[in-house]
Amino acid sequence: MARTRFAPDRGLTSRMVFVMFLIGLLAVVFVGALILFVPAGYLPIVLILAAGLLFAQFFFSDKIATFAMGAQEVTPEQAPELHALIDRLCALADMPKPRVAISQTDMPNAFATGRSPKNAVICVTTGLTRRLDNQELEGVVAHELSHVAHRDVLVITIASFLGILASLLGRMAFWFGIGGRERDRDGVPVELVILLISVVTYAVSFLLIRGLSRYRELAADRSAALLTGNPSGLASALVKISGDMGRIPTADLRKAEPFNAFYFAPAFTKDSVMALMSTHPTTEKRLEQLGRISQQLGR
């Protein structure tokens, strides 16, 4: 993590290390299976395609996210209050100020993206700024700045590489029949073996990354609450945003759903019923943690 005044979180660090270890172990098993079953001529193609996607996500995640959400960078003259709030929090956290963007949408949310604090972007929607007061908005922005300080986007991008690789290989086995008519020792088509290995690898990787994502949201809530010293402001913002999501048109929420992992709160909550599949903890769990922090701070 970059040097900042965000309170250190040993739980976040240990869980990141543990999940990355499991993903690394899974990668070793997966690569071993590739060597055994995938024809040598296909391996370079799969690796080049996966590396290309990872490169694009790593270096252009900020541009991809802001473009997809129709966000525009704003200057201090265009959004003086928002810039002043971010200036104050960055000074408090002792971290570089990210670029600031606004998305003209009624969906109340915010996200941070970028591979490092130096090229990060903090984006808020107009629906968010209209609904929240200054203390609530401060809590949300501090939450997003915590993601930047902890380099969460970078960690998740690297962790997702194995899933990208498994997904590509599975699709190639399904659509192009990798292995042709070759069969393994038990007479099972090679492409079927590759497809099954890819599906299992992708599923396990997906669950590990979702678990990491949920904990990083709790860690960002904790860091924001301790930095601002106002857990109740963040809790109030979370309640408002979660409640207002139900009144946003479904079409708008579905459009934003692919970016749930970036958001302060998920844009579409249907899948959140299944805890293992969710990018975010439940609202109740987040509020419970903020309540404990508030008690610790005597507020």
Which residues are known catalytic residues?
A: 144
Question: Which pair of structure tokens corresponds to residue 161?
Answer: 């590489």
Distance of CA 50 to CAs 67, 158, 166, Å?
22, 12, 9
Report the distance separating Cα 188 and Cα 114, nearest Å: 44
The helix (run of H) or strand (run of E) holding residue 205 is helix 190-228
Report the distance separating Cα 49 and Cα 77, nearest Å: 42
Could you tell me which residues are beta bridge partners of residue 103? 71, 125
Cα atoms in the 13 Å half-sphere on the side-chain side of 132? 32
The helix (run of H) or strand (run of E) holding residue 115 is none
